[in-house]
Amino acid sequence: MSAGQAWPVAPNALAGIALVVAAGACFSVLDTTTKYVSAWVPLLMALWFRYAFQAVATTLIVLPLRGIRVLRTRHLPFQCLRGVLLLTSSLFSFASLKYMPVGEFTAIVMISPLVVTVLAATVLKEKVSPLRWLLVAGGFAGTLVIIRPGASTFNWAALLPLGLVASNSWFQVLTSKLARTEDPVTMHLYTGWVGTLLATLALPFVWTQLGASWLWLALCLMGVMATIGHFMLILAYQRAPAATLTPYLYTQIGFAMLCGWLVFQHVPDRWSLVGMLTIAVCGAGGAWLTVRERRPALEPAAA
């Protein structure tokens, strides 16, 4: 392919992009609903319901199609560790949303791919280009602009998403390692059930009666959005490589801002918008670099 030709986008890649954007919308609804119910439902109770719904729904869908063989895995300890990491991420997520606007929270979480770059360089000893390091620095700068430590508007709760970013980044690194040999549906099942079983241990201590029927409906909506969103991501990554899809994950910031405005009438201030835009540009730029670096290997050799 000559330098002047446009790089074609396969129909499967377009379908994957559409699925990623739709998944981002689902996760934004999930986060917004979580923030809304957090005033009435204990955090751990809501967390249990979200995981239990996803685990049961996934099992009911997958087992009739794949049978018990879908549970076979060569790395059970790592599957369990992956479930623990995602549960930890969800715990930080629910706690963050209780105190933070949805848009700002989502933007900070979106630095996870940039943190994965740091882990890839320091833990996996992968080579990272100077431009990629510059994008990582830009993403962290955008996060600081949103959090603004030392400013009069600073709140300690703004640090909670950083715990989510740390646990989710390790989750992504472990996922990338397991995905080389493990079935993604199997990974999804174990993740849901590990989170459910661990959250069940805390359930007797936090359970409370919910008098309003709309709270049950809201909890069901959380479970539905989480289940559909994760299934859409699985389908997306079956159709296109992660490097192609990652830039479109940042559409979730826009969906989160829209949901925050519709439900809570919250509009980010000027500096928060600058930070959110910086994170989105740096994150998408990092994904674009990945596509660019892998493109020569995908091009057919000249005749």
> 154-184: per-residue pLDDT in tens?
567 777 888 888 888 888 778 777 877 888 8
Distance of CA 73 to the CA centre of its chain: 24
Mean pLDDT of 144-151: 71
Q: What is the C-alpha separation between 234 and 230, in angstroms, rounded?
A: 6
The length of the chain in residues reads: 303
Band (pLDDT 50/70/90 cuts) for residue 25 is very high
Question: What confidence score (pLDDT) does residue 291 get?
Answer: 65
| 187 CA to centre of own chain | 15
Tokens standing for residue 169: 């980044």
Asked whether the beta carbons of 160 and 89 are under 8 A apart, the reply is no
State the average pLDDT over residues 13-28.
88
When pLDDT is cut at 50, 70 and 90, the band that residue 243 belongs to is low
Sign of the alpha-carbon torsion through 96, 256, 21, 293: negative
Query: Which whole number is the average pLDDT over 103-122?
Result: 79
The reported pLDDT for the residue numbered 179 is 74
* Mean pLDDT calculated for residue range 63-82: 90
